[in-house]
Structure 1
Amino acid sequence: MKETLIAYKPFLFFLARFFAVYILATILYQYYLAQYDVAKNEVDGITKIVSTQTVQFMNFVDGNAYAIPNTTEPCMNVFYNNKWVVRIIEGCNAVSVLILFISFIVAFRGKIINTFAFMCLGSVLIYIVNIIRITCLSISIYYYPAYQDFLHGIVFPLVIYGLVFVLWFVWIHKFSYYAK
């Protein structure tokens, strides 16, 4: 048993670091979300910011968009050309994706400065791509409502998780201690 633990020590430390960061960040995020009363359909601040920035980007790209709080559930309704196209819920704000991304970067550690810089730059990139992703999804659903399930369920998750995978790949092969 001792030889097995020694043989798998790097992997076990990787798992320990990953789950420690993931669990801690998730607990902190849940603590943040607990400030908002779901029973009163309160939308958390991050989701509101994502909604606002999505609408701003939609208006920059093409036109007439706005968002209003939903009165029956905790989300923001996004309208495009005066037609409701999507609702932005807490899960759309990319925080859970960022927690996953950061946990992996910490688990596959590297030099502290590289780790911190990559986490920050990667998080900003993921956030920006998420805004672009929601914008494209909203406009696509306006023009192609029959493809809503395909776009929302397959294409656009591939975009955000594909980006995370590419960033992980770059991290492991260029900046982590395992790159050598």
Structure 2
Amino acid sequence: MKDFLPVLKILLRFVVIYIVVVLLYQFYLNAYMDDVVDPFTRWVAIQVALVQNALGFPTVLVDSLKLHSVLFQTSGKFTTRMVEGCNVFSVAILFSAFVFAFYKGSKTFLFVLGGLVLLHILNVSRIVLLNIIFLKYPQYEKIGHDYIFPAIIYGGVIILWLIWIQFFALRKADK
């Protein structure tokens, strides 16, 4: 049992951090139950629209309280809708809890911050590309939404975890 103690400590840290942050996030979401979406989700939708506009795909955001979504009207056509689950926050919680489970001082915070920025950029890019697929290649909507783009986000998380473990968590402290 003594050999498993370090692993159990890491697992316990992960579970505690994950549960606490998920509960805090749920309290945050509960504060916006009567709104179309929460402010963070709207912020992501605005960034997606800005990128799409810059790429030559004129985009208007349309609120739908009935759907609790922000609809993307891209080049005059409704393409996708932004819901809370699309804002990458839940994935960011999972990513952060894992990295903090292998806490290595201040570099842990820097790695998490950099990872969150990268995940956010991946997510905005993912939604932009998904809207373009819905607009230009509707035959690939399902495979894009259900398989390819989740693989990009979760693949990004796994790659970041592997980098954290290989280059930071398993390294002995420099003397």
1:43 aligns with 2:37: yes
TM-score by length of 1: 0.92
The CA distance in 1 between the partners of 2:151 and 2:171, in whole Å, is: 26
Partner residue of 1:103 out of 81, 86, 97: 97
Give the 5 Å matches for 1:76-95.
Answer: 76-95=70-89
Give the 5 Å matches for 1:3-152.
Answer: 4=1, 6-37=2-33, 40=34, 42-110=36-104, 112-152=105-145
Instruction: Give unpaired runs (5+ residues) of structure 2.
Output: none
Matched letter for residue 123 of structure 2: N
Instruction: Give unpaired runs (5+ residues) of structure 1.
Output: none
More helix by share: 1
CA deviation after TM superposition for structure 1 residue 121, in Å: 0.7
The CA distance in 1 between the partners of 2:66 and 2:131, in whole Å, is: 20
The CA distance in 1 between the partners of 2:17 and 2:66, in whole Å, is: 34
Q: 1:142 to 1:103 in 2, by over 3 A?
A: same
Is the CA contact 1:41–1:75 (under 8 Å) kept in the aligned structure 2?
no
The CA distance in 2 between the partners of 1:147 and 1:132, in whole Å, is: 17
RMSD (Å), alpha carbons? 1.1
Total equivalences in the alignment: 172
The CA distance in 2 between the partners of 1:63 and 1:89, in whole Å, is: 21
TM-score by length of 2: 0.94
The CA distance in 1 between the partners of 2:60 and 2:46, in whole Å, is: 8
* Equivalent in the alignment of 2:148: 155
CA deviation after TM superposition for structure 1 residue 179, in Å: 3.1
Detail structure 1 runs of 4+ shifted over 6 Å in the superposition: none
CA deviation after TM superposition for structure 1 residue 41, in Å: 5.2
